[in-house]
Chain A
Amino acid sequence: MVVIMHTLNLTINNKPYHFLISGTESLAQVIRQKADLTGTKIGCEQGTCGACTVLVNEKAVLSCISPAIRYNNSSVTTIEGIAPLHKLQEQFVKQGAVQCGFCTPGMVMTALDFLKNNSNPTSHEIREALSGNVCRCTGYQKIVHAIEEYVKQNKIPETSATTFKSNGNDNKNLLSIVGTRQPYLEAEQKVTGKADFADDIPIKNPLYCRFLRSPHPHAKIISIDISEAEKMEGVKCIITGKELPVTFGVLPVSQDETAMAVEKVRYIGEIVAAVAAESEELAENACKKIKVDYEILKSFFTIEDSLKEINENEKIHSHGKNNNNIHKTAELRFGSKQEGLEKSVTHSEFNFSYLGLNHAFTEPHAAVSWWDEKGLTLISATQVPHYLHRALAKVLQVPLYKVRVIKPNVGGGFGGKSDPFTHEIIIAHLSRKTGKPVKVRFTREEVFINNHGRHPTEIKMNAGTNADGILQYIDADIKIDGGAYGSFGVVTSYYNGVMLQAPYRVNNFGFITKRVYTNKPQCGAMRGHGAVNPRFAMEVLMDDLAEKLNMDPC
């Protein structure tokens, strides 16, 4: 394949650059990979999150969807060019507008561009201006306040600058630091784009990993032919599921996943093979040359179907004891529902249904790994370095003392980075085989396919009170759709029920949760793990009961 290269002349942060690029390279790629300015983040490559915002000829541009070649002879300003610490950045730090910090550089660039044309904006105008920049941590409030504060400061003459709240001890209060408003230690690093996230860490001569994913929701793998892909120049290693057959999972009771599909695929997007090559593009192209023969199996997409009795060979996982696709049944009963019913004068019952959710953190999963005389080092965007450490040792079959996991700055997790993941195990294995560092970064679509988010749920719940409005019973019948693998699902199954036993006193309480496997990306833990959906149901029932009793719901 002949790639035509073009010369690109850019001035970035007042420094001239000359690059040789292909016509497909985005401005964000050039800025990050060729100019080594990693303050500009890539969150979606779809122009939908704003993390990649830079100024081109003084105007805000989404660099991830802008072909670099289009901006030949232009002047680019990235977050690194806002030096040393702009007063707006100072306000971001002070007002707590920085949490994970992944959206922050884009947010700052967008705000600076907007403020150039509107130096005295209303709160609504600020919110409008930022509406193309996704932040998943802050709820935007502190970002809006930071900008408002900056605008306010700009109006006041320099001499009357803000007075800082003293952290000093006045002897009345024994606590001198605890209870004070402290910006994060690393907030300044994040707001200036210096903070390294997993994909920002400089690595010498890495290989890049891409995946071949299943196009089928449920199918047997008959054969995989990698011969053509292997011959491609720049392709260093291709691996398939058979090389890593040891199962893993975050819970000891749900070790039901392998690094790549071994005998069959269980959801669209499951990894079937992985390629390490000299560039992402090469790895991606090599994946397209891998041929897989599948035998299509019957798929299960709904809770209803997965509860049904089926033949042994139709099961998504063979390890289940039952002849259905139920993964876990959790049931607890306290007191007596009968007694609760008898004591109640008012009852409420509803059916609730919930779509599944994705955490939608702004930083896509990313990791890099290498081996040396000390063993494996893996740097990954993870919430659970310890469990990842254990899973790596288990699947790669190396002693625990040969594994090191490092968590760099992480761009949000919300439970979505709290499992050990297949891509982390895969690059660890690829770097072992090639002897080279291997990097991986998910596309936004892959983040959604990987999922591990909140379970699609169906709840039938009822509750009753006596004439005084005192709860007499709660009863819940819960079904959750776990997708193709276990993840945290056993815990989720319990949490869906047990978290109903407060904040209201109830003596007659019972629930049953059934978690089923389906041929969809797996679900796991997400902020408020398992407790969110039943809480919604319970609070709606409370509202309904109060209305029936003609009482204030408070």
Chain B
Amino acid sequence: MRFKNFIPSFTTTVGQYRITSNGVRESLEKVMVQSKWKERRGKLPVGHGLGVACGFFISGSALPIIWNEYPQTSVHIKLDFDGRVLVTSGASDIGQGSDTMIAMVASEILGISMEKITVVAADTLLTPVDLGSYSSRVTFMVGNAVKMAAENLKEKILQAVSIRKNIEISEIHLYQDSVTSNDGKVNLNWQETVDITTAGVGAISVTGKYISPKLGGNFKGSGAGLSPSYSFGAVIAEVKVDNVTGQYEVLHLWGAHDCGKAINPLAVEGQLEGSWHMGMGQAISEGLRYYKGLILNPNYLDYPVPTSLDTPEMSTNIIESNDPEGPFGAKECGEGALLPAIPAIANAIYNATGVRVNELPITADKVYFGMRNKNNKKQ
């Protein structure tokens, strides 16, 4: 039924969101094949269940929190005599790997190795503004700004070499730490290239920025959820429920997420697995409890985050739909993947028991009472 309802790529939603790339079909197909959905669902041993769900999320809020005309992010790159490429950005790496992403994008565009690139980030004195690590915006927006800045630097380098060597820009390339010409007459190593570029002008500074295109409708509230692109995904969960006690185990999660393009697949996998794990926490155990405003469980024992033992092996699939506006086609992967994990688990429990628990977290007692009520009705 989901396949019949999926919104296509390159369309607008009812609330006038501009959908660009959309890998939701591929995501669902992938997890169906991997989990052997068609072969296994309905034929599992008693107490086992398979459930499915899909997801959708923004890839960066198109509007800044504080309305002004400053770009959503600004990036500076400096090249000086030592050949070090200093990228400064306000982007806040909180463990998601944005510093590494910045270095990778700069390295890719400039054609120089990552070790020559130094990233200085998130210091409001030294780095230009980035709005922060929220709304899954950093890779999309900062990635684009780094790309622009690196392209600007590359142009300056090639221009300087072009003038010095008296050769058309279109005839020379910056690649693998050197500038070479098609005819082979120019072959400069990085330090020679840097010396030519800085000659007479000193350190070179370039900038890049990202500003969202104008999007959305003209009604009040139309700005909420506007994003230059959207991510999609799907999860299938398998659970095993004890039909006497209602206790259950999540046996496996098959997940697929359309992140446009994985700039760093190692980091993307980490984001996806972490998201599914956190979603599982909300599904199975996490929840804040209060008594007359006093929090009852302010610790990791009473607020149970799933441990390594509670967490099943996950099958991690990156779907690449190549977004036309993301840097190298990339869009978000840090938040949206979480969404389908929770309903996939709930739907799997229903598949296993015939019990719908619509209260999160789905603790064993709720499953137990659900099964008991169902049995009572039968009798």
Which residues of A come within 8 Å of B, CB atoms? Answer: 44, 46, 48-49, 96, 99-102, 123, 126-128, 130-144, 169, 175-186, 217-218, 250-252, 267-269, 299, 301, 330-332, 334-335, 350-358, 360, 374, 382-387, 389-390, 403-407, 409-415, 417-418, 444-445, 447-449, 451, 453-454, 456, 465, 468-471, 491, 494-495, 498-499, 501-509, 519-521, 525, 527-529, 531-533, 535-540, 542-546, 549, 551-554
Contact = CB atoms under 8 A, between A and B. Distances in A.
A263 to B, nearest CB: 18
Contacts of B97: 99, 184
Nearest to A405: B124
B14 interface: yes
Contact of A539 (B15, B305, B316, B340): B340
B134 interface: yes
B282 A385 contact: no
Interface in B3-60: 3-8, 13-15, 17, 19, 22, 24, 28, 32, 37-38, 41, 51-58
- Name which of B51, B290, B344 has the most chain A CB atoms within 10 A of its CB: B290
A346 B93 CA distance: 47
Chain A interface, DSSP helix/strand/loop, else mixed: loop
B55 A469 contact: no
Contacts of A46: 299-301
A252 B66 contact: yes
Contact of B358 (A123, A351, A531): A351
Contact of A350 (B38, B336, B356): B356
Given A48-B299, A352-B359, A383 B133 contact: yes
A269 B343 CA distance: 33
A437 to B, nearest CB: 17
Interface stretch (B75-83, B153-161, B191-199, B270-278): B270-278
Contacts of A520: 290, 293, 295
A384 B340 CA distance: 27
Contacts of A499: 56-58, 225
Nearest to B54: A503
Contact of A140 (B1, B295, B308): B308
B264 interface: yes
Contacts, number: 404
A66 to B, nearest CB: 17
B313 interface: yes
Contacts of B176: 169, 176
A444 B299 contact: yes
21 contacts: A127-B309, A178-B328, A252-B67, A268-B293, A357-B286, A360-B303, A383-B133, A384-B132, A406-B123, A407-B121, A445-B299, A448-B288, A470-B5, A503-B6, A519-B293, A521-B295, A527-B338, A531-B57, A531-B336, A537-B358, A554-B37
- Name which of A99, A100, A410 has the most chain B CB atoms within 10 A of its CB: A99
Interface string B311-332: 1011010000000000010000
A529 B58 CA distance: 10
B232 interface: yes
A471 B1 CA distance: 9
B119 interface: yes
Contacts of B32: 554
Nearest to A491: B224
Given A386-B131, A418-B134, A470-B4, A495 B107 contact: no
A182 B51 CA distance: 33
Contacts of B230: 502
B288 A451 contact: yes
A505 B1 CA distance: 12
Interface string B205-239: 00000000000000101001100001010000000
Contact of B261 (A179, A301, A331, A353): A179
B295 A269 contact: yes
B274 A137 contact: yes
B287 interface: yes
B100 interface: yes
Contacts of A531: 56-57, 336, 339
